[in-house]
Amino acid sequence: MPGRRSPLAILVLAPLVAAALTACGSSGSSAKAGAADGAGTPASELRLGYFGNITHAPALVGVEKGFFAQQLGNTKFSTQVFNAGPAEVEALFGGSIDAGFIGPSPAINAFVQSHGDFVIVSGAASGGAALVVNPSITSPDQLKGKTIATPQLGNTQDVALRAYLASKGYKVSTTGGDVNVTPQDNATTVTAFKAGKVDGAWVPEPFASRLILEGGGHELVNESSLWPGGRFTTTVLVAKKSYVKEHPQTIKALLAGELQAIDYIGASKTDAEAAVNAQLMTLTGKPLAQNVIDRAFGQITATADPIASSLKTEQDHAVAAGTTKAADLKGIFDLAILNSLLTAGGKQPVDSAGL
């Protein structure tokens, strides 16, 4: 694609753009008005991005069970799968997808870099990330000099690891530090861990469970233990603001499909696991072992609530990690369509925590 930027280039650009921002407070208003008054037309196509991770279970189930396609009706539905958030941000900026399930740190970067043109329209999952290490490491004090993998520079787990290390007194930077942070593909990490080429990894599910059950590792830090009540946003759904404004009916259909998927996951863990494994079989040619998917599912909560109160902390972590700079997040959420669906279904609306 002409002019397409690399994920690292996007991350390098983010601090420069963020520093230049003064306010994004009105970024969601026009989209909300369009949704409320029924303006706009159904889109001819919706291109959706997501990961082959258990933390993206609503996306996997929604695709596998046909919930998105059914709700979208005559709108052509296509998908693209990514390993981590920065690569998906590149696709959003390159125009190859219209919406995507993504982690909070890349979602923040997308919002900041675009001057508010990408907004969070829903949550998707909470929990499901951990630091898994080899059995010889039993304390954070033993991490100095060790090699710890993450999915990609600047992705949500990469930021979480760097912020955690800084909280433990380690020197951390994107170019070095007391701990060797090595961003790489999640599947590569599993192989590298088994071969002893990395000492551990901060990864999402199912890769944390795979490192434990297949690689003989143990969980040093479950990220849920670092958050109030164990609740933090792991996956959100973002869309281009202009797309929301022009096609609110299409976003409404997408969100209706997501809510169907979340309800399906809540109603039957066994059926949801089967749907996820079928989708993973389609994507990778190999399903997860039953003990892996059982453990991984137990680590997440599928929810449309973006747990907005955790987002500012996620941004603070990214600033501490050196992958972005502080910026005004006012307007990053546009939850009007989601809340209209929740209210119509007799469910509690979700809160944007003033953002």
pLDDT in tens, 90-112: 999 999 999 999 999 889 988 98
User: Which tokens sit at 53?
Assistant: 């991770």
Positive or negative, the CA dihedral 44, 344, 26, 58 is negative
Least confident of 17-21, 177-181, 191-195, 317-321: 17-21
The one-character DSSP state at 326 is -
The Cα-based distances of 140 to 169, 178, 230, 259 in angstroms read: 10, 12, 20, 39
Least confident of 11-20, 43-52, 304-313: 11-20
pLDDT in tens, 254-266: 999 999 999 999 9
Give the residue range(s) of CATH 3.40.190.10 domains in the chain: 7-126+232-344, 129-230
pLDDT(7) > 50: no
Per-residue pLDDT averaged across 73-98, rounded?
A: 92
* CATH architecture assignment, domain 129-230: 3-Layer(aba) Sandwich (3.40)
Would residue 285 be called left, alpha or beta, if left means φ above 0 and alpha means ψ between -120 and 50 degrees? left
Could you tell me which CATH number the domain at 7-126+232-344 has? Answer: 3.40.190.10
Indicate the pLDDT class of residue 183, thresholds 50, 70 and 90: very high
pLDDT(36) > 80: no
pLDDT(60) > 60: yes
Please tell me the predicted confidence (pLDDT) of residue 292. Answer: 97
The pair phi, psi for residue 44, each rounded to 5°, is -75, -25
Q: What does the mean pLDDT of the chain come to?
A: 88
